[in-house]
């Protein structure tokens, strides 16, 4: 008797082989990229560029962009926790900004889906430049599972909906 869990996105786990952000126009526009995925985890990066600056005097990235990076990583972590892909939607995302992100450096978000129920997923995440041990933001989030009957855009990654 095996307790091994099956994950819908398991064929894509590991260092990014395929950029899963291409299914989200906003993430694609901001130039986000997947770094790595695994069971219930995701790491994304956001390359530093001038369009992201919210404070021109200091070169600091706009907080809304950081929230978007964390939300995208969190949603992907939820997808990586699912046995069967389903649409998800953010219910609540609490982001605590601990300090400004250092100007000129690429940003990262690491998210973990620590609890997945039939209808709700629970996530914790950090955003950082150099190390997740020294984050500039932390996050707790909840996501609705099965948010709409249209399915998941990530389903295309594994051939769902192909007729």
Q: Pick from 62, 117, 120, 123: which is nearest to 93 by CA?
A: 123
Residue recorded with tokens 């894509």: 12
In a domain, 129, yes or no: yes
Amino acid 163: pLDDT: 35
pTM for the whole thing?
0.88
> What is residue 150's predicted lDDT score, i.e. its pLDDT?
57
pLDDT at residue 131, rounded to an integer: 95
The vertex-48 CA angle with 44 and 49, nearest 5°, equals: 130
**Ranges of the chain with pLDDT below 50:** 1-2, 158, 160-163
- pLDDT of amino acid 23: 80
Is 78 part of any domain? yes
Does 163 reside within a domain? Answer: no
**In this structure, is residue 1 part of a structural domain?**
no
- Does residue 5 lie in a domain region? no
Q: What CATH code is carried by the domain that includes residue 71?
A: 3.10.129.10
Q: Which domain holds residue 30?
A: 10-158
* 112 closest CA partner among 95, 121, 124: 124
Domain count, the chain: 1
On whether residue 112 sits in a domain, the answer given is: yes
Any domain includes 81: yes
- The answer as to whether 126 is a domain residue is yes
State residue 1's pLDDT score.
43
Cβ neighbours of residue 41 closer than 8 Å, sequence gap 6 or more = 77, 80, 110, 111, 112, 113
For the chain, give the percent of residues with pLDDT over 90. Answer: 66
């Amino acid at each position: 008797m095996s307790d091994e869990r099956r994950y819908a996105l398991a064929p894509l786990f590991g260092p990014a082989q395929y950029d899963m952000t291409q299914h989200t126009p906003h993430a694609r526009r901001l130039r986000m990229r997947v770094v790595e995925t695994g069971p219930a985890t995701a790491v994304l990066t956001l390359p530093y560029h001038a369009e992201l600056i919210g404070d021109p005097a200091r070169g600091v990235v706009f907080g809304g962009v950081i929230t978007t990076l964390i939300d995208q990583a969190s949603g992907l972590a939820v997808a990586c926790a699912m046995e069967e892909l389903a649409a998800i939607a953010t219910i609540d995302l609490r982001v605590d900004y601990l300090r400004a992100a250092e100007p000129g450096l690429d940003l990262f978000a690491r998210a973990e889906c620590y609890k997945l129920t039939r209808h709700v997923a629970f996530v914790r995440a950090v955003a950082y430049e150099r190390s997740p041990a020294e984050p500039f933001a932390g996050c707790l989030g909840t996501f609705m599972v099965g948010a709409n009957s249209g399915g998941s855009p990530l389903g295309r990654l594994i051939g769902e909906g192909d007729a």
